[in-house]
Amino acid sequence: MRVGLVGFMASLVMLLAVQVPAFAEFSSQKWDTVPDELFKDLSIPLDASPAQLYQAVAKRYKDDYNEGKYAQYWEPIPMDMYFAPTLYYKPPNLDMEVHRGQCIQCHKGVTHGWVEFWQKSVHANLNEIRNLPATDVRAYKKGIIKEVENNLRSQGLLKKDEKLKEVSCIDCHMGVGKYKGNHGKDLHLPDRATCGQCHVRQFAEAESEKDVWRTWRKIILPVPGR
């Protein structure tokens, strides 16, 4: 039995070694870490702009984001509003206009810990990262900031040559670059697509797992007649 299992695993490894180029092709273009399968499935070019890539991935993500065909047989628990905020989160019933600076002012007394986490994060201290010496272990984040800025410029959310000043509460909970909004109508918990608006590459990488899995499934678990 043991020999049979070892033989099976060896055969599987050999099979995958032969098939790897077929299902894990990577583009030589600027999205070199995103498998080509995603671009093929979305019918967009390998050299798509950040705006094109984000819009295509976000549309498919939101189209797939539903309760499923068995939704009538179960009901969400309170924690689901955090796991699936787009489906279940309801903002507090506060019909009031708030602006960017007020988030911190109020939440220091309401959710002090969250404010502390943000104030110590990269989002609140972009210039600190920009000024790091190349020898600092965090210096690689400079490149991430530049990529995020290019993503936002491509989407018309940042002017040419303009630098991103900060990523504040309102950017993630109401909309990137927003100055004000209604606390009861515009507030939302961020989902993967929200983060992906700035981090387009990472969003596409994560969503590409769907496309790679489809190819894996065809190779390892072929369906008769297909």
pLDDT in tens, 199-210: 999 999 999 998
Describe the crossing of helices 50-64 and 141-154 by its angle, rounded to 10 degrees. 80
Domain for residue 7, yes or no? Answer: no
Token pair, residue 198, equals 């700035």
pLDDT score of 6 more than 60? no
According to the model, what pLDDT value does residue 5 have? 53
* Rg, the chain, Cα only: 22
pLDDT score of 26 more than 80? no
Residue 21, classified by CB atoms within 10 Å of its CB into exposed (0-12), middle (13-18) or buried (19+), is: exposed
CATH code, domain carrying 105:
1.10.780.10
Domain hosting 33: range is 26-220
**Domain count along the chain:** 1
pLDDT score of 211 more than 90? no
According to the model, what pLDDT value does residue 21 have? 42
Please state, in angstroms and rounded to a whole number, the distance separating the CA atoms of residues 223 and 226: 6
pTM, rounded to two decimals: 0.81
Domain for residue 14, yes or no? Answer: no
Residue ranges of the alpha helices (H) in the chain?
Answer: 2-23, 36-42, 50-64, 80-83, 85-88, 102-110, 112-119, 126-130, 141-154, 169-173, 192-196, 200-220
Q: What are the phi and psi torsion angles at 183 (to 5°)?
A: -65, -25
Domain for residue 13, yes or no? Answer: no
Residue 151, classified by CB atoms within 10 Å of its CB into exposed (0-12), middle (13-18) or buried (19+), is: buried
pLDDT score of 219 more than 90? no
Closest of 206, 177, 174 to residue 57, by C-alpha: 206
pLDDT score of 107 more than 60? yes
Domain for residue 181, yes or no? Answer: yes
